Amino acid sequence: MSWNGPPVRVAVAGKGGAGKTTICATAARLLARSGLRVVAIDGDTNPNLNAAIGVDAADAAPFLPTSLVSRRFDGPRLTAPVDEVLDRHSTLAPDGVRLVRMGMPQHADEGCLCSAHATVSAFLADLGAAAGTVTVLDLEASPEHLSRGTARHCDVLLLVAEPYYRSLEAVRLQASLAAETSIDRVAVVANKCRQQSDRDAIEEFCGRHRLELVGILPWSDAVLDADAETRPLLDFAPDDALVAAVGELVGALVPDRVEAGV
């Protein structure tokens, strides 16, 4: 059953290697399997969401062209309707997910990627008017998406935390920056938890910094094995505990949408 309610835009951030891309790819496909219209955006200038979601690089649509952006008083917006942009610049991924990719450097010494960030920001803003759509945005591992405002139009910013100091510090920094934006909801998901002490460390961190902990994901050897075989986790090990935990996370983030789509 299709769902035609207000759109939901979820952005996923955190330290490099925290598991953002695996979470985004798995969540997007699980959402799509529940019958929802899902757009997955690779917002990393070193893109690899396509591999995690099940699309060969050779088959992926070209990167979003920066010519799609018009500068306005309220920020960048697309020069064409968002559905037209999706038709022209997305790839149909497994389970019906629409995959869109942010531009990456084509040559050394070519300068900053401000225009690429502005294009993703404009695309995310216009998806806010796409009824019945859930967007999952995989962000790069720096706070640049917050300093440039790339993610300011998301409804939920999900910060992925591993149970060690450097990862938690990255979450703390990005949470403090997000607090200065108009993002409605900032939440933390604990990832790669091997034992109870890992969970306790992240729960204590979230309590101390007054951050919502929305999910706890276990360590999974299957993630490494799937990557070695260049296969999406959802296809390689559909019954893995991490897949089930991401399913629970999806239900916590967009419960009414998932229920409507089932």
CATH at 182: 3.40.50.300
1 in a structural domain? no
In the predicted structure, residue 107 carries a pLDDT above the cut 50? no
Residue 251, both tokens: 């239900």
- Residue 31 domain-assigned? yes
Of residues 232 and 6, more confidence is placed in: 232
**Would residue 220 count as lying in a domain?**
yes
Residue 38 belongs to a domain: yes
Show the DSSP H helices in 10-127 as ranges: 20-33, 49-53, 82-89, 114-127
What does the block give as tokens for 137? 């945005």
Per-residue model confidence as pLDDT tens digits over 203-220? 999 999 999 999 999 999
For residue 16, what are the CA distances in angstroms to 19, 166, 168?
8, 10, 12
Q: Please report whether residue 2 resides in a domain.
A: no
Report the number of distinct structural domains present in the chain: 1
Domain extent for 135? 8-261
pLDDT in tens, 166-203: 999 999 999 999 999 889 899 999 999 999 999 999 99
Is residue 3 included in any domain, yes or no? no
The answer to whether residues 156 and 253 touch, using CB atoms and an 8 Å cutoff, is: yes
